[in-house]
Structure 1
Amino acid sequence: MRASLVVLGSRGDVQPFIALGTTLKARGHEVTLATHADFETLVREAELDFVELPGSPRDFLAHPALAEALQQGASLFRAARKVPRPTTEHIRGLAAEVAKATAGADLVVNSILSRISFESDGSAPWGSVSWWPLNPTAQWPAMIAPQAGLGRIYNRVTHRVGGLLDWITIRGFRKDAQLPALPFGAPYGELGRDVPLLCPVTRSLFTEPSDWPELSRVTGYWFWDREWTPPQDLVDFMDAGTPPVTLSFGSIWPVHPPTETLDKVLAVVRSHGRRLVLVGGGPATVPEDVFRIDDVHYPWLLPRSSVVIHHGGCNTTGEALRSGRPQVVVPTFADSPFWAARVHALGVAAKPIPFQKFTLDRLDEALGDALGDENIRRTAHDIGEYVRAEQGTEKAAEILEEWVQRWRTRKGMGVTA
């Protein structure tokens, strides 16, 4: 089977697709991964075929207008209005490259963001991936809504409003891409009903509610366990004393002033008698009790840390959960407030600190809880064991293989490997 995986976004979006691709390849399939040039090295490191899609996540995440918007609140829609929209030429070029990347495939798998640029021609089965529970349900509110316990009617209404906002956000993009409009008020309505919709997060956070459609599935996280050898100076730093705190704001680092952020975090970390590992951001020059590294394998680093401070991206949250270490989450926008609230409710993280309220006092309180609360440490350890046992990419591969077989049977095409 020739599988085309299409994903737009940050490394946190792309790396799980690499994990899925390596699993599909190990099961005997040919895999092409289409994404931004920023991630070509990682895709080729995994020995997957690479197709470049135009644009870069930095066009949005590193734009000065994003930081300005986030200072006013965590609204994804405000942020999208502040940052200049891609040109019509860029949008049409992206849709054309997605079409080329998926032509001739036996299976297409796209993320929610890249779904907007994709239109099936009916020649192959396809499915999508959402980093949060997307299908409407009475069991919980939509991801973008206040996670208030106001009952089933409230929950249903938030999903309707969320669907309408999604439609408003993407309708112009689809028009500029010269693609058919998606259904009014429910642009992702076919996902989980007509085609698979996979949610690659741990089932310790939630499982499929009874009112979800059959093809909407929670698989467990998709982890890529790459071949990686830590530099000796990092090994020496980790072994030099009490386990340090790790700070990683991932793709959202551009909205954090480098020196100011390090000074603030380091002051609190030092007050608790710890050192700091700084991943992927901050100033170029750091003090002796800070180790700065740009590319690190989280399964090596995070379990050796005392606490993980992060931004609440879906897959960074997954790596922190897998590590079994307590967390402090500083959510910014999009799905990060949702995940920050979830891991706090799960009992593995201190109370979240929203980006707009990221102060010394709040960080001091949260880090103190993460370091000193035995219940948080014990729960984080237990959840880590659960997450490590899930094998989400294998589950996802099985679901997709079964879907291809069902699709081919329905089309009267027979089944091929």
Structure 2
Amino acid sequence: MRASLVVLGSRGDVQPFIALGTTLKARGHTVTLATHGDFESLVREAGLDFIELPGSPRDFLAHPALAEALQQGASLFRAARKVPRPTAEHIQNLAAEVAKATAGADLVVNSILSRISFESDGSTPWGSVTWWPLNPTAQWPAMIAPQANLGRPYNRLTHRMAGLLDWITIRNFRKDANLPQLPFGAPYRSLGKDVPLLCPVTRSLFTEPSDWPGLSHITGYWFWDREWTPPRELVDFMDFGTPPVTLSFGSIWPVHPPAETLEKVLAVVRSHGRRLVLVGGGPATVPEDVFRVDDVHYPWLLPRSSAVIHHGGCNTTGEALRAGRPQVVVPTFADSPFWAAKVHALGVAAKPIPFQKFTAERLDESLGAALTDESIRQRAHDVGESVRAEQGTEKAAEILEEWVERWRTRGSVGATA
């Protein structure tokens, strides 16, 4: 089987697709991953074929207007209004390249963001991936809504509003791409109903509710266990004395002033008698009790850390859960406030600190709890064991292989979805 995986976004979006791709390849399939040129080296390191798609996540995440918007609140829609839209030419080029990347495949798997640029011609089985539970349900509110316990009518209403906002957000993109509009008020209606929709998060947080369509699946996280050797200096740093705290803001680092952020975090970390590992951000020059590293394998680093401070991206959250270490989450926008609230409610993380309220005082309170509260530490350990036991990519591969077989034996099931 020739599988074409298409994903747009940050490394946190791309790396799970690499994990899925390596699993499909190990099961005997040919895999091509189409994404931004920023991630070509990682895709090729995993032994997958690569196709470059136009653009870069830095076009949005490193734009100065994003930091300005996030200072006013965590609204993804405000941020999208502040940062200039891609041109119609860029959008048309992207849609054309996605079409090329998926032509001739026996299976297409796209992320929610790249699904917006994709249109099925009915000849190939396909499915999508969402980073949070997307299908409407009466069991919980939509990701973007206040996570209030107001009952089933409220939950259903939030999903209706979320669908309308999604449609408003993507309608001009689809128009510029010369693609037909998706259903009004429910652009992802077919996902999970007519084609598979996979949600790669832990079942310790969610299981499928009874009112979800039959093709929606929560699989467990998709982890890429790459072959990676840590630098000798990092090994020595981790092995010396008390385990350090790890700080990683992932793709959202550009909104954090490097020197100011390090000064604030380091002062708090030092007050608790710890050193700091700084991943992928901060100033180029750091003190002796800080180890700065740009590329690191989280399954090696995080279990050796005393606590993890991170931005709350879905897959960084998954790595922290897998490591079984206490967390402090500083959410910024999009789904990060959602995941920050979920891991706090799960009992594995201290009280979240919203980006707009990220002060030394709040960090001191939350980091202190993460380092000293035995209930948080024990809960993180227990959840880590559960997450490590899940075989998310294997589960996803089985679902996709079964879907392709159904398509072949029954005809074009859901071909026009």
The TM tier, using the shorter chain, reads over 0.9
Alignment-derived partner of residue 204 in structure 1: 204
Alignment-derived partner of residue 378 in structure 1: 378
Distance 1:412 1:284, change over 3 A: closer
Alignment-derived partner of residue 100 in structure 1: 100
* Residues in 2 aligned to 1:315 and 1:17: alpha-carbon distance in whole angstroms: 11
Q: How far did 1:410 drift?
A: 1.2
Give the counterpart letter for 2:232 in structure 1: Q
Q: How far did 1:409 drift?
A: 1.1
Spell out the pairing of 1:1-150 with structure 2 (5 A cutoff): 1-150=1-150
Is 1:262–2:290 an aligned residue pair?
no
Aligned residue pair count: 413
Alignment-derived partner of residue 165 in structure 1: 165
Spell out the pairing of 1:197-236 with structure 2 (5 A cutoff): 197-236=197-236
SS in 2 for 1:228: coil
Question: Are the equivalent residues in 1 in contact too, given 2:106–2:125 (CA < 8 A)?
Answer: yes
Question: Are the equivalent residues in 1 in contact too, given 2:122–2:412 (CA < 8 A)?
Answer: no
Q: How far did 1:310 drift?
A: 0.1
Q: How far did 1:411 drift?
A: 1.0
Tell me the alpha carbon deviations over residues 266-315 of structure 1, each in whole angstroms, 9 at most, x when there is no partner.
00000000000000000000000000000000000000000000000000
Is 1:178–2:148 an aligned residue pair?
no
Q: How far did 1:91 drift?
A: 0.0
Alignment-derived partner of residue 274 in structure 2: 274
* Residues in 2 aligned to 1:151 and 1:73: alpha-carbon distance in whole angstroms: 26
Alignment-derived partner of residue 407 in structure 1: 407
SS in 2 for 1:296: coil
Give the counterpart letter for 2:143 in structure 1: M
* Residues in 2 aligned to 1:199 and 1:257: alpha-carbon distance in whole angstroms: 33
* Residues in 1 aligned to 2:407 and 2:314: alpha-carbon distance in whole angstroms: 30
TM-score, scaled relative to structure 1: 0.99
* Residues in 2 aligned to 1:371 and 1:46: alpha-carbon distance in whole angstroms: 35
* Residues in 1 aligned to 2:81 and 2:157: alpha-carbon distance in whole angstroms: 24
Structure 1 residue runs without a partner (length 5+): none
* Residues in 1 aligned to 2:264 and 2:210: alpha-carbon distance in whole angstroms: 45
Is 1:389–2:389 an aligned residue pair?
yes
Tell me the alpha carbon deviations over residues 363-394 of structure 1, each in whole angstroms, 9 at most, x when there is no partner.
00000000010000000000001000101000
Q: How far did 1:412 drift?
A: 8.1
* Residues in 2 aligned to 1:227 and 1:4: alpha-carbon distance in whole angstroms: 23
* Residues in 1 aligned to 2:380 and 2:350: alpha-carbon distance in whole angstroms: 11
Structure 1: 4+ residue segments shifted above 6 A: none
Tell me the alpha carbon deviations over residues 236-285 of structure 1, each in whole angstroms, 9 at most, x when there is no partner.
00011100000000000000000000000000000000000000000000
TM-score, scaled relative to structure 2: 0.99
* Residues in 1 aligned to 2:341 and 2:412: alpha-carbon distance in whole angstroms: 47
SS in 1 for 2:183: coil
* Residues in 2 aligned to 1:183 and 1:405: alpha-carbon distance in whole angstroms: 28
Spell out the pairing of 1:293-332 with structure 2 (5 A cutoff): 293-332=293-332
SS in 1 for 2:110: strand
* Residues in 2 aligned to 1:223 and 1:146: alpha-carbon distance in whole angstroms: 29
Question: Are the equivalent residues in 1 in contact too, given 2:171–2:181 (CA < 8 A)?
Answer: yes
Structure 2 residue runs without a partner (length 5+): none
Give the counterpart letter for 1:411 in structure 2: G
* Residues in 1 aligned to 2:223 and 2:159: alpha-carbon distance in whole angstroms: 29
Calculate the aligned-residue CA RMSD, in Å. 0.7
* Residues in 2 aligned to 1:253 and 1:411: alpha-carbon distance in whole angstroms: 47
